[in-house]
Amino acid sequence: MLSCKLAMEKKRFFIASFVPMLFLITMWSIFLLSSFFNVDIVKLGLYPLKSKGLIGIITSHFIHVEFNHIISNTVPLIVLGTLLFYFYPEVALKVLLILLIIPNIIVWFIGRPSYHIGSSGLIYGLVSYMFFCGVFTGNKSLLSISLLVIFLYGSIIWAIFPIDYKISWESHLAGFITGMVLSAIFKDKYVYKEKLPEWYTEDDEKYAYKDEIGENENDEYCRNN
């Protein structure tokens, strides 16, 4: 039984890492090919309030021109992306797609007149989503993930402020706000519900909320897997 559960969790982990790995393979392929052939890909970045910069809403996450830049984004993307698909499988793809698009649209409207490149805005969105989802749901398991995320990446919060002009703090801020909003939108999928006793009157609440999975398999709860 234990070996079966371990095998299932291992399979689930590999499935959760598939999309993040696919994203990273694409990102690294673009970086290596552009470096090898000496192609300037910065113009595929996001340029605010210019029609030439609209393509960057889709492509900017994959554009890195420095090795240190892409390395610094690689580990957080695989860690946070896998956590997202492992613990939030019901909404993970929706959250990822929204975080890829909406923050960049915001930056296109409010960003400084410069090319904004890199996937750090996505990282901030993932950090924000997983932190606030644990806070908003009150789910103990998800709260532990919130604490883990803060422990690993809490220090990055300062980069949402315009401290370093060379850093796209607008992307960081837009990603952070979008992640927080998404966590509020999708939080109901991760709040366990338990029916109240039959003697409750119609004026009482229909459901009571709890953050622990019941031991009775016949109990009705929202699933978190």
Domains of the chain with CATH codes: 2-190 (1.20.1540.10), 193-225 (no CATH)
Task: Taking residues 45-73, report their average pLDDT.
Answer: 96
DSSP for 14-25 reads HHHHHHHHHHHH
Encoded tokens for 197? 């006793």
- 139 confidence band (pLDDT: 50, 70, 90): confident
CA dihedral 157, 180, 128, 147 (to 10 degrees): 100
| Three-state secondary structure call for residue 185 | helix
**pLDDT tens-place string over residues 121-136:** 999 999 999 999 999 9
Encoded tokens for 112? 């400084």
Q: Give strand pairing partners of 210.
A: 192
pLDDT recorded at residue 39:
94
Q: If you compute the radius of gyration of the chain from its CA atoms, what whole number of angstroms results?
A: 20
pLDDT recorded at residue 191:
65
pLDDT recorded at residue 89:
92
- 1 confidence band (pLDDT: 50, 70, 90): low
pLDDT recorded at residue 188:
85
Q: Give strand pairing partners of 46.
A: 116
Instruction: Write out the H or E segment, with its range, that includes residue 107.
Output: helix 92-110
Token match 């806070």: residue?
135
Task: Taking residues 24-36, report their average pLDDT.
Answer: 97
**pLDDT tens-place string over residues 84-96:** 999 999 999 999 9
Tell me the C-alpha distance between 44 and 99, whole Å: 18
Q: Answer yes or no: are the C-beta atoms of 23 and 81 closer than 8 Å.
A: yes
- 11 confidence band (pLDDT: 50, 70, 90): confident
Q: Give strand pairing partners of 18.
A: none
Tell me the C-alpha distance between 133 and 210, whole Å: 15
| Three-state secondary structure call for residue 106 | helix
Encoded tokens for 180? 């927080």
pLDDT recorded at residue 169:
95
Tell me the C-alpha distance between 222 and 225, whole Å: 9
In this model, does residue 176 exceed pLDDT 60? yes
pLDDT recorded at residue 166:
86
Q: In Å, what is the CA distance from 168 to each residue of 21, 104, 125, 221? A: 24, 11, 14, 42
Higher pLDDT pick, 214 / 163: 163
Q: Answer yes or no: are the C-beta atoms of 33 and 51 closer than 8 Å.
A: no
Encoded tokens for 201? 């009157």
Q: Where are the beta strands (DSSP E) in the chain?
A: 192-195, 207-210
Give the orientation angle of helix 140-153 with respect to helix 67-87, to 10 degrees: 170
